[in-house]
Amino acid sequence: MGYKIKETREALKMTQEELAEKSGISRGTISALENGTMRTTTTKTLLRISQALGVNVEAIFFEDCV
């Protein structure tokens, strides 16, 4: 999941800080998810990140491409 968040964020030319501001999720949490040091999170967090990225949660979990 984390690599998809990073892949989508980078495709949008968005920094972790920008994603944090837009989603209301801390940059530390976003970094931990992207790097795999945090493997679980809440549905609410995933929804907020996906909304900030302009994709649905399924894109983060199931789709191969952004």
In a domain, 41, yes or no: yes
7: Cβ contacts below 8 Å, ≥ 6 apart:
66
Q: Which domain holds residue 14?
A: 2-61
Burial class (CB in 10 A: 0-12, 13-18, 19+), 39: exposed
In a domain, 66, yes or no: no
Number of domains in the chain: 1
pLDDT at 17 over 80: yes
Mean pLDDT confidence for 31-49: 92
Domain with residue 53: its CATH number is 1.10.260.40
pLDDT bucket at 65, cuts 50 / 70 / 90: very low
In a domain, 52, yes or no: yes
Radius of gyration, CA atoms only, the chain: 10
pLDDT bucket at 52, cuts 50 / 70 / 90: very high
Could you tell me which of 62, 66, 2 has the C-alpha nearest to residue 25?
Answer: 2
- The token pair that represents 56 in the structure block: 């649905």
Mean pLDDT of the chain: 91
- The token pair that represents 3 in the structure block: 């690599």
